[in-house]
Amino acid sequence: MMQGMDQLALEGEKCQEKTKHITQAVEKLKRKQDADSGLSLSEIKALDTSIEAVEDFHRNAGKRMRFDNKRLKALENSVSTIVQRNKDMLPRPWEFAENITFDEKTADKNLETSEDKTQLRYVPSRCPPVGKKSKEAETVLNILASQSFSQGSHYWEVEVKGRKNWTVGVVDKGWVKKGMNQALGQDKLSWALQMDAGSLVALHNDDITMVREAEIEVLGVFLDFSKGWLQFYNVHSGSVLHTFVARFKNSLYPAFSIEAEKGDVHQMRICALMPQNLSRDLDSRAGLLNDRRQSTDSGIGRCVNVPTEVAAANVSQSLEGIELSTQTHLPQPSNHSSGYSSTGL
CA distance 109 to 151: 31
Residue 108: closest CA among 266, 256, 254, 271: 256
Cα(105)–Cα(32) distance, rounded to whole angstroms? 110
Distances (CA, A) of 145 to 104, 118, 254, 311: 8, 10, 5, 31
* Rounded Cα distance, 51 and 307, in Å: 56
Whether 246 and 171 have beta carbons less than 8 Å apart is answered as no
CB 318 within 8 A of CB 102: no
Residue 309: the pLDDT is: 35
Cα Rg, the chain, nearest whole Å: 41
Q: What pLDDT is recorded for position 38?
A: 56
Of the candidates 110, 105, 106, the one whose C-alpha atom is nearest the C-alpha of residue 128 is: 110
Q: Which pLDDT score is estimated for 210?
A: 92
Spell out the domain ranges in the chain: 90-342
Q: What is the pLDDT of residue 295?
A: 38
Is the CATH number 3.40.1010.20 carried by domain 90-342? no
pTM for the model stands at 0.56
| pLDDT for position 330 | 40
Strands 190-196 and 165-172: antiparallel
pLDDT at residue 326 in the model? 28
Rounded-to-integer distance, Cα 64 and Cα 9, Å? 81
Q: If the chain, 345 residues long, is cut into consecutive pieces of 10 residues, what is the mean pLDDT of each piece?
A: 60 67 70 62 66 72 71 79 63 72 88 86 62 49 92 93 88 88 89 89 92 85 94 89 93 88 70 64 40 41 35 33 32 42 49
Distance CA 209, CA 160 (A): 20
Sign of CA pseudo-dihedral 67, 71, 76, 81: positive
Cα dihedral value 264, 265, 271, 277, nearest 10: -160
Q: Which of 174, 182, 225 is nearest to 206 (CA)?
A: 182
